[in-house]
Chains A and B, each alone.
Chain A
Amino acid sequence: MIHAEHLTRRFGPRVAVDDLTFTVPKGQIVGFLGPNGAGKSTTLKMLSGFLPPSSGTARVAGHDIVEAPDEARRLIGYMPETFPVYPEMRVEEYLHFRAELKGVTTRRKEAVQRAMELADVADVARRLLGELSKGYKQRVGLADAVVASPPLLILDEPTEGLDPNQILRFREVLRTLGREHTIFLSTHILSEVEAVCSHVVIIHRGRIATAGPLDTVRAELDGAARDVSLVLTVKKPDEARWLDDATAALTAVAKNAEGITVVRASFEAGLVRADVRAAEGTSVEDLVARCVAAGMGVREVSPKGRSLEHVFHDLTTVEPAAAEKPAGAEAK
């Protein structure tokens, strides 16, 4: 749906977005992640046709945003960060105006009604935009984005300013919308991405850090070292020694088990509770097998799944040069 090619935007000497190439597959909900100031909003403004790119381009369903901006914009429902409004207009009136502007010629009333219901703003239809709360304004912004039923929705931090209940409701709405629309949404709330997105594009300092299906991105980084919590039993333990320093004792037992590092351990009522790190390439199954081979009994295994938060943290706290991954940068 979106094919960005070497998308670059400079503000004077500052490069806000640097050579972004990525794909947003049709019919998917794609999360666009990055720390504040990474260039998310600038990228979305370029895709939606507000800012022209300094170089590079993007195609929206085959329409080049530089060469055929009107055709591209017709396919996009864009919701900017902190939705700006004409304070003197009523909600309904505003949405009628937007629908007309976007070329909804027939059944405009129904389109507006449907958008208001979807975004939960029907109860404020006759209120002036200027007196709405931030959460309501955001939702009017969503209604605006969907009013012409465009195939692609570009949402810039859509849940900003919503209360927790509204956020949950919003995610439901997103999932519903995701059945008919391709959605590209930026956020810095990671749980949001994990809750609704199938794909993710992560940028850092204007460059792609990683991109692809959420599982792949997680797994890609998962291939590296992983932490596992274990509850073990040890045959004929020398209680005094284990009580004294369980970590050292376990390290001694596990020294033959390849690829396992003991991070910390404690001994209590005959059970060893341990956090261990399996080296790169060692699966949880391998780890258990090696523990058993080393003479330990395994009671409980809880792999600490690397959350997106870890991935995000790893990717966005290193220097961009190190985070660059030209080969894996394109989502499939």
Chain B
Amino acid sequence: MRSAWAIYKRELVSTFYSPLAYVVMVSFLLFNGVVFYFFMDLVASNPTISGTRGPLQLFFGSTILSVLTLMIFCPATTMRSFAEEWRSRTAETLFTAPVSNLSVVLAKFGGAMTLYASLWLPTLLYALVVRRYGSVDWGALACAYTGVMLVGGAFVGVGLLASAVATSQVTAFVGSFGVIGGAMFALGLGRYIFTEESQLRFFSYVNLWEHMERFAVGMLDTRQVVYYGSVAVLSLSLTVRALAARREA
């Protein structure tokens, strides 16, 4: 695992030396700033709608927006990971060092998640803004961030897989965007097609964005943790396999 730590550190150096990270961060904050402003304004002008849900709960959980943006931003955090190693052929030096594919994948995952977390970090300021004008439910907020990290972990996992099989950053981006978007659409559509109770329950469980609504109001339950966790673990193990297969072909 020492080698994974070395690769993780290098990932951070590469990520934060490249302008891409800052472009992604700025556009992320710009977009979410507008969304947050919208909800602040909404609550301020309609005191009746808030009830238990303040602007932060609305921001994280009331709409698909919080997850929809991840469809673009998660692939952006992972597209470089492996695709760039293949393209520049540094994969050859990386995989001839005494490191296992698993260590490499975990290090890349750690690197991408760190970038992902740093996208969200400045949004903590939103809580300070809300506190100025009302109260903040810190427990619910912690839960919302946990949810954001869980969804992100699953998406980043898929993004890494796409990057491991892609030939360029662009195909990695398009591939993970397509897979995440397609899965969101297909799994979300279930509830409009099926009518039986058990089927509806299933599609509610696998719906990729619906859980955010519960996370936002402070409801964290192991079923969701298991769901997003499994997607991440499955993607990462497929990534490990893909790295070996790519060299075998």
Contacts and interface: CB of A to CB of B under 8 A. Distances in A.
Interface of A: 45, 48-52, 70-71, 73-74, 76, 78, 80, 82-89, 93, 97-98, 100-103, 105, 144
B98 A52 contact: no
B53 interface: no
B248 interface: yes
Contacts of A80: 89, 92-93, 96
Given A50-B92, A84-B92, A74 B98 contact: yes
Nearest to A93: B13
Contacts of B90: 84-86
Interface of B: 2-3, 5-7, 9-10, 13-14, 17-18, 88-93, 95-100, 244, 247-248
Contact of B98 (A50, A51, A84, A103): A103
Nearest to B99: A101
A98 B92 CA distance: 13
A84 B14 contact: no
A82 B90 CA distance: 11
A100 B96 contact: no
B163 to A, nearest CB: 16
A101 B88 CA distance: 19
Contacts of A102: 97-98
Contact of B18 (A82, A88, A103, A105): A88
Given A50-B92, A84-B92, A103-B2, A98 B97 contact: yes
Contacts of A45: 92
B14 A88 contact: yes
Contacts of A100: 2-3, 5-6
Of B7, B10, B91, B95, the most chain A CB neighbours within 10 A belong to B10
24 contacts: A45-B92, A49-B95, A50-B92, A50-B247, A51-B247, A52-B248, A70-B99, A73-B97, A74-B98, A78-B93, A78-B96, A83-B93, A84-B89, A84-B90, A84-B92, A84-B93, A86-B14, A86-B88, A97-B6, A97-B9, A100-B2, A100-B3, A101-B6, A103-B3
B132 to A, nearest CB: 40
Contacts of A51: 247
A86 B96 contact: no
- Nearest 6 interchain pairs by C-beta: A84-B89, A100-B6, A73-B98, A74-B98, A48-B96, A78-B96
A87 B99 CA distance: 22
A73 B18 contact: no
B10 A86 contact: yes
Nearest to A51: B247
Given A84-B89, A100-B2, A50 B13 contact: no
A191 B180 CA distance: 56
Contact of A73 (B9, B91, B96): B96
A98 B7 CA distance: 9
Contacts of A88: 13-14, 17-18
B96 A84 contact: no
A144 B13 CA distance: 19
Contacts of A84: 88-90, 92-93
Of A73, A76, A86, the most chain B CB neighbours within 10 A belong to A86
Contacts of A82: 89
A48 B99 CA distance: 13
Contacts of A48: 96
A160 B108 CA distance: 32
A130 B17 CA distance: 13
Contacts of A76: 96
B97 A101 contact: yes
Contacts of B99: 70, 101
Of B14, B17, B98, B248, the most chain A CB neighbours within 10 A belong to B98
Contacts of A98: 93, 97
A102 B96 CA distance: 10
Contacts of B89: 80, 82, 84
B171 to A, nearest CB: 20
Nearest to B84: A86
Contacts of A103: 2-3, 98
Nearest to B244: A52
Contacts of A49: 95-96
A39 to B, nearest CB: 17
Given A70-B100, A85-B88, A97-B6, 19 more contacts: A48-B96, A49-B95, A50-B91, A50-B95, A50-B96, A70-B98, A71-B98, A73-B97, A80-B96, A84-B88, A84-B92, A85-B90, A86-B14, A86-B90, A93-B13, A100-B6, A101-B6, A101-B7, A101-B99
A320 to B, nearest CB: 25
Nearest to A96: B6
A85 B85 CA distance: 9
Contacts of B96: 48-50, 73, 76, 78, 80
